[in-house]
Structure 1
Amino acid sequence: MQQVKKGDRVRVHYHGKLATGETFDSSHGRDPLEFEVGSGMVIKGFDDGVTGMTVGEKKTINIPVEDAYGHRNDQMIIDMPIDRFPEDMQLEVGMPLIMSDSTGQQFQVVVTEIKEESVTIDANHPLAGKDLIFDIELVEIVGGNPLIITP
């Protein structure tokens, strides 16, 4: 049987949980997740977890924080002047916002505190600092990069 290797395009069903058992994401009821193994499209621990699997195989992988979204970074918690937000915006603690960096790349932040003259936002990934557990099933190896042999 063909085993998944770096460069293969695969389709997997998954159920992602925290160590507490709380589900944070699942492909249940959706199409399987399709990605190229080793391309950086998914976190390192997920890439490593599917490598070597065969079609139809199911397994549980435990991904430590270092191979997931990394540790929380206090430098990603930023106080912004309140006048940088639209006047009519009703800010609330816990509210997710989409921000853009200087290159135009968008990313999600969360409002963590509202003060008189500033708003504290957290730009850490919501799963930063957490070990993750995935139940995965390899549905299909769609294709991969052809092996090129030169004389």
Structure 2
Amino acid sequence: MTTPNNGDTVTIDYTLKRGDGEVVGSTQEVGPQQVQLGAGQTFPQIEQALTGMEVGENKVIAIDCANAFGPRNDQLVIDIPRANLPPEPAPQPGMALQAQQPDGTPMTLYVVEVGEEQIKADGNHPLAGEDITFDLTLRDIKQAA
């Protein structure tokens, strides 16, 4: 019976759900994912759960919003004049835009509303303010050298 340890690379399948049960992501769309334990590539709760799992085992891990993508911050919803955007592609709700914060740090904004003169964009992660649940299956373990 082998279980992964810190430094091992694991292959996982998962389904990510909002607190209300709505599926918002899955490896069915993108294929199994590899994660190196201890490298900070996923939530600490996921790493902790994987450390005790065996290949083929399934676990459901619930993560509250404070430990997932954090609470929503209404100050991150901003209006941007359309004149400040390139003409193509035309902004559409759901579109991701890349911007820079005043300190130069890159930031992703999501278009939430498109008007004639301006757009409304949201700098919150789409799952900010949400409790989330991972339905997780361990597929393989590649032990660290």
Q: Taking structure 2 as the reference length, what is the TM-score of the superposition?
A: 0.81
**RMSD, aligned α-carbons:** 2.4
Count of residue pairs the alignment pairs up: 143
Which has the greater radius of gyration?
Answer: 1
The equivalent of 1:25 in structure 2 is 25
Query: Are 2:6 and 1:6 equivalent residues in the alignment?
Result: yes
Q: Structure 1 pair 99/31, CA: closer, same or farther in 2 (3 Å)? A: same
One-letter identity of the residue aligned with 1:69: F
Q: Deviations over 1:56-100 (max 9, x none)?
A: 2111111111221111122322222321112455334x2312314
Q: Deviations over 1:28-62 (max 9, x none)?
A: 26531101112121223322332211222111111
The equivalent of 2:112 in structure 1 is 112
5+ residue gaps, structure 2: none
Preserved CA contact (<8 Å) 2:18 2:24: yes
5+ residue gaps, structure 1: 147-151
% identical equivalent positions: 33
The equivalent of 1:63 in structure 2 is 63
Q: Taking structure 1 as the reference length, what is the TM-score of the superposition?
A: 0.78
Preserved CA contact (<8 Å) 2:4 2:143: no
Shift of 1:117: 4.5
Shift of 1:136: 0.9
Preserved CA contact (<8 Å) 1:44 1:67: no
